[in-house]
Amino acid sequence: MSSWPKNERGPRWGWVGGFLGSTLWILILSGVWVVRGEIRWGLAGLAAYLVCLLVLWLLLPWRRPKVRIWKLYWGALAPIALSAGLFLWRHKAAGNQEDLSWSTWVFLILILVMPPSFYRKTWEELIRP
């Protein structure tokens, strides 16, 4: 990590840290399921988390400096969204009858808060304007 250029250290840590922080809930919920004796669901969650890590590694923006950030961002969000869908489906399948329809709207609002100017930029343009 010390080989990172000084002007890129902060953005790189931000990308990796933000992604890891946004996927930590998958690992925690998987652990909860294992402790509750639902080993199969715990392993499914662990597999989902590992897929998220693989996608993070594959879509590191500094490895693809000319690709628009929105493509990398949506690619990184895909396994998180699939994990959320899996966990919501599991929640309903377990007999929990609470209305979860609000979660779809919250998810859409959180995704759409990114400013449009950020979508058009590439990593190269963000680091070396």
Q: What is the pLDDT of residue 88?
A: 76
Secondary structure (DSSP) of 5-73: -HHHHHHHHHHHHHHHHHHHHHHHHHHHHHHTT-HHHHHHHHHHHHHHHHHHHHT-GGGSTTSBHHHHH
For the ranges 51-55, 67-71, 106-110, the maximum mean pLDDT occurs at 51-55
Contact 75, 64 (CB under 8 A): no
* Burial (CB count within 10 angstroms: exposed 0-12, middle 13-18, buried 19+), residue 78: middle
Q: What is the pLDDT of residue 84?
A: 81
Residue 13 token pair? 């840590």
Average pLDDT over the chain, rounded to an integer? 80
Q: Express each pLDDT in 19-60 by its tens digit.
A: 899 899 999 989 998 999 989 999 999 999 999 999 999 999
Report the predicted TM-score, pTM, of the whole model to 2 decimal places: 0.76
